[in-house]
């Protein structure tokens, strides 16, 4: 392998990022520079970009985006949040705990961290501020919990990880040392993401209880009302049924994740137009416009990252990087610590989907060499990158929560640090105990 190639590929990429170039431009220019150095015809970039969108699983990406946008327009997200709010009661930190639960519910239909933060934050941040929690704390807990949107299936980053990892085979030496590895599929990733998402939410709920107890947030003056909970569940029955239809169909094998996304769209159209009657033509056009913009942005990153990753793999750069890491230590826990630390740093500066596309070809060989299951590795990777949504300078959830609450990003960032620490603790637990991610797929026959 040519050392100059690594310097050209990563050096030009880093230089362009420092200059403030968009991630797509940085990836594309770095890839073009590497191809010119290798003497390849630049038209190969176009061929790679075209082939990168020719996969059936990738169809799930814009479909889930559209489903999430339609569910917000049709009133399903608001009803899910009302159910979570009815569970708050007089408990310590009850309303902020309800916010975390609302993000958990909404994550099961949106697949996006920023979308979850925006949908839940619009209702819960003002409600918490009125209840005396303070806009800074309200914004920080919402920004932290919004990251659950990419862990709980269906998750757009899990789809991207699945597409990135499907074509990668374990090195022969990894198979010789650890035996065969199970194949990567989006269905397995979706099933495996459920319990880790609950563990991550549990970490946030625990930290929320501790902080609310210290600050004296005792919840609402109203007692926990079974009648109010039942009424919220009755009004939100069709909204609560949406995750059951989507995930139940995937988990039961009735349809694939790509087909589930289409089912979610038609289910939302039916509920929004016929049952709730809140989905009108203007809302439908807005949802389509939002989806087109988001999907186009993601696909541009996908084009460039696919080319970048293909150059890495064709020139065996991941194998060299894996060998370098393994030459430092062969202790599994130290490897996990280095991987998680690297992902936390990358998540602070790089968009999640681009980070997945770039790092999967580099880091998955390390996982194989250490005998780490690729499904387990993917879940830990997505969980770790989810913390980047609440950490500056990139933290998209911070910007959204700041816009809703009117509190500066700096203040929200400081208040979000304990939640980030709770999430990191949960990530290490998921990494050390692989059955948290792998037990459910195994029980369901995968």
Q: Residue 110's pLDDT is what?
A: 67
Report the candidate in 98, 28, 102, 41 with the shortest Cα–Cα distance to residue 72: 102
What's the Cα-to-Cα distance from 395 to each of 32, 252, 354, 379, rounded to whole Å?
29, 35, 14, 20
Chain centroid to Cα 91, Å, comes to 30
Q: Residue written as tokens 């609450």?
A: 405
Query: d(Cα 268, Cα 72) in Å, to the nearest integer?
Result: 10
Q: Residue 7's pLDDT is what?
A: 86
Contacts of 339 (CB under 8 A, 6+ apart): 363, 366, 367, 380
Q: Cβ–Cβ contacts within 10 Å for residue 244, how many?
A: 11
Q: Residue 134's pLDDT is what?
A: 84
pLDDT of the chain, 446 residues: tens digit per residue: 567 888 888 889 889 888 888 878 888 898 889 888 888 888 887 777 777 666 666 777 788 778 878 887 888 877 877 787 777 666 777 888 888 988 887 777 766 777 788 878 877 888 888 878 888 999 999 999 988 888 888 888 898 899 888 877 887 888 888 888 888 888 899 999 999 999 999 999 999 999 988 887 766 656 677 888 888 888 889 988 888 888 788 777 788 777 888 888 899 899 988 998 888 888 889 888 888 887 777 777 778 877 887 787 778 777 777 777 777 888 899 999 999 998 998 888 777 888 888 888 888 988 998 899 999 999 999 999 999 888 877 777 888 888 888 888 888 888 999 999 999 999 999 999 999 999 998 888 76
Q: Residue 385's pLDDT is what?
A: 93
- Do 191 and 151 meet the contact criterion of CB atoms below 8 Å apart? no
Contacts of 185 (CB under 8 A, 6+ apart): 162, 166
Q: Residue 420's pLDDT is what?
A: 94
Q: Residue written as tokens 């065996």?
A: 316
| Helix 332-349 × helix 374-386 angle, to 10° | 40
Query: d(Cα 20, Cα 25) in Å, to the nearest integer?
Result: 10
Alpha helices (H) in 132-185, listed in sequence order: 135-146, 156-166, 172-178
**HSE-up of residue 175 (Cα within 13 Å, Cβ side):** 8
At 366 the three-state DSSP class reads helix
Six-digit token string for 127: 């409600």
Contacts of 210 (CB under 8 A, 6+ apart): none
Report the candidate in 221, 236, 233, 225 with the shortest Cα–Cα distance to residue 276: 236
Say if residue 154 is preceded by a cis peptide, omega within 30 of 0.
yes
CA angle 34, 351, 307 (to 5 degrees): 25
Q: Residue 2's pLDDT is what?
A: 60
């Amino acid at each position: 392998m040519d050392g100059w190639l690594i310097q050209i590929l990563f050096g030009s990429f880093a230089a362009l990022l420092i200059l403030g170039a968009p991630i797509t431009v940085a990836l594309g220019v770095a890839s073009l520079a590497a191809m010119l150095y290798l003497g390849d015809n630049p038209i190969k970039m176009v061929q790679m970009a075209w082939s990168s969108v020719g996969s059936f699983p990738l169809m799930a990406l814009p479909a889930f985006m559209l489903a999430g946008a339609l569910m917000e327009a049709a009133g399903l997200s608001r009803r899910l949040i009302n159910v979570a709010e009815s569970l708050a009661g007089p408990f310590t930190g009850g309303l902020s705990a309800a916010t975390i639960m609302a993000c958990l519910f909404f994550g099961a239909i949106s697949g996006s961290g920023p979308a979850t933060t925006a949908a839940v934050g619009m209702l819960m941040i003002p409600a918490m501020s009125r209840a005396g929690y303070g806009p800074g704390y309200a914004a920080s807990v919402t920004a932290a919990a919004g990251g659950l949107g990419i862990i709980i299936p269906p998750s757009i980053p899990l789809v991207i990880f699945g597409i990135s990892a499907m074509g990668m085979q374990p090195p022969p030496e990894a198979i010789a040392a650890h035996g065969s590895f199970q194949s990567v599929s989006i269905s397995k990733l979706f099933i495996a993401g459920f319990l880790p998402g609950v563990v991550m939410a549990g970490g946030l709920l625990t930290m929320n209880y501790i902080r609310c107890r210290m600050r004296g947030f005792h919840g609402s003056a109203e007692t926990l009302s079974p009648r109010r909970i039942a009424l919220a569940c009755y009004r939100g029955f069709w909204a609560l049924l949406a995750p059951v239809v989507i995930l139940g169909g995937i988990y039961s094998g009735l349809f694939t994740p790509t087909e589930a996304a289409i089912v979610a769209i038609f289910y939302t159209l039916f509920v929004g137009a016929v049952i709730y009657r809140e989905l009108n033509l203007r809302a439908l056009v807005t949802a389509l416009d939002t989806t087109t913009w988001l999907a186009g942005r993601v696909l541009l990153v996908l084009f460039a990252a696919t080319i970048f990753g293909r150059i890495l793999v064709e020139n065996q750069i991941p194998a060299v990087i894996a060998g370098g890491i393994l030459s430092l230590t062969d202790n599994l826990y130290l490897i996990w610590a280095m991987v998680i630390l690297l992902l936390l740093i990358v998540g602070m500066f790089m968009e999640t989907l681009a980070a997945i596309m770039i790092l999967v070809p580099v880091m998955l060989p390390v996982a194989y060499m250490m005998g780490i299951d690729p499904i387990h590795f993917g879940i830990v990777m997505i969980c770790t990158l989810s913390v980047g949504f609440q950490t500056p300078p990139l933290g998209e959830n911070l910007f959204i929560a700041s816009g809703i609450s009117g509190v500066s990003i700096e203040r929200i960032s400081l208040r979000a640090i304990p939640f980030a620490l709770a999430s990191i603790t949960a990530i290490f637990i998921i990494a050390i105990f692989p059955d948290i991610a792998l037990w459910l797929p195994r029980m369901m026959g995968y």
